[in-house]
Amino acid sequence: MIRMTLAEVATAVSGTLEPFGADAPTTVVEGAVDTDSRMIAPGDIFVAKPGETTDGHLFVPGVAEAGASLAIVEHRVDAAITQIVVPDVIAALADLAREVVARVRAGGNLTVVGITGSNGKTTTKNLLERILQDEGETVAPRASFNNEVGAPLTMLRVTPETRYLVCEFGAAGPGQIARLAGLVTPDIGVVLMVGLAHAGGFGGVEATLKAKTELVEAIRPGGIAVLNADDARVVTMAAVAESRGVSVRWFGRGSAAEMRAEDVEVTASGTTCTIVVGEKRMPLRLRVLGEHHVMNALAALTAAREIGVPLADAIARLETVEIAERWRMQPLGSDRVRIINDAYNASPDSMAAALRTLAQIVEPGQRKVAVLGAMSELGEYAGEEHDRVGLLAVRLRIERIVVVGPDARRLFISAIGEGSWDGEAVFFATADEAYDYLLGELRDGDRVLVKSSNSAGLRHLGDRLGESFS
């Protein structure tokens, strides 16, 4: 965090300062801010967040011993450390992030980019971070730090030297993106797509559209909305942007896009395409696996172009990225048996994209094997969407469909009903059972997709398979 006095921090979070030892209101703090006591180093600031299984207040004495300079708490803790007492530590975390970003921005050198969408946020964030880090100090979320805790923690990492802050905004319900994006009022907002991911929490796809539009509504007047020209729901956000004095830039694969991709080809080693901007045509060779990542690359390139990065430089930097993120279309195993671990999250759109990628990368003589778990947070849409995935897997001629977990059983039944009944589709209640089956079933030339939502836990199954066939 930037240098601030204890009094300034207390004012920012509307808290009561209780100094300890030699500390006074004028004492300066500038350590990292975290809610995880294990990450606290000397001089850091600990936010004692209550959790579902434990309470951060229990760890205040431990962080004091570790040398933390300050604890933000909801009640005074008997520990040898200065504390600021607030009514709600999560609200305080947001307030502190707002203040820190505002102070850095006042220096006139910070550009803030916000990214949202039902799928692709983390990949797009990573791609844009790779482009911008060669331009100047860039702060972006670790992993998928995109919620009410992770987003402010990312914002608090900015320094006076930071030129670019890339924020990823996720949400499980209405109003969350508005609150998070409102902390920083982005200069550029990127909306990737509107789909059924988390539809159960939002109450349907139209409510999801409204929630994703919250990012466009948070862009500062005079800013830029980077929108997916191929998504009809995202297209409707242009009117919202323009009504607020926000310019619109389009990316996509159709002719309406200002930054578009043509001649897309997918192989086991990556994806190639031609980037077209006006009369300019440039090749892009993404090492990241999957045709759907072309759209993420287009979004990152469009945002970077608006920032002022030359297209050739941006493309060259994208071509150095090997994987989008751990557990996202991550190649494991070996050329003999290739495992594609994409089990960090799943929605109907991302599940379909991953299955199509599997179908595209096999060569003659190789088998397609899909190890599939449940898609979470779909609410009333869960049954029919698992049905659709089962049907798609069969129609893509996936030779082995391995369904794991009771919540995914309907996917298995759907595949059986579509004709995958002669041993092509199998069901296992646990990942361990599936692992034992796959050890005996997989053979040279197999290409194996492991795909599920995070809650299904198949990412660890993918890792085990990767190690076994490395």
Binding site residue list:
117-123
Conformation bin of residue 322: beta by default, left when phi > 0, alpha when psi is -120 to 50: alpha
The CA distance from 22 to 3, in Å, is 18
CA–CA separation, 54 vs 44, rounded Å?
Answer: 21
270-277 and 330-333 as β-strands: parallel, antiparallel, unpaired? unpaired
Residues annotated in a binding site for ATP:
117-123
By CB atoms closer than 10 A (0-12, 13-18, 19+), residue 225 is buried
Whole-angstrom distance, CA of residue 244 vs CA of residue 224: 11
* CA dist., res. 169 & res. 181, Å (int): 7
Between CA 258 and CA 278 the distance in angstroms is 7
Locate 214 and state its tokens. 């919250």
**Given the DSSP bridges, would you call strands 368-372 and 188-191 parallel, antiparallel or unpaired?**
unpaired
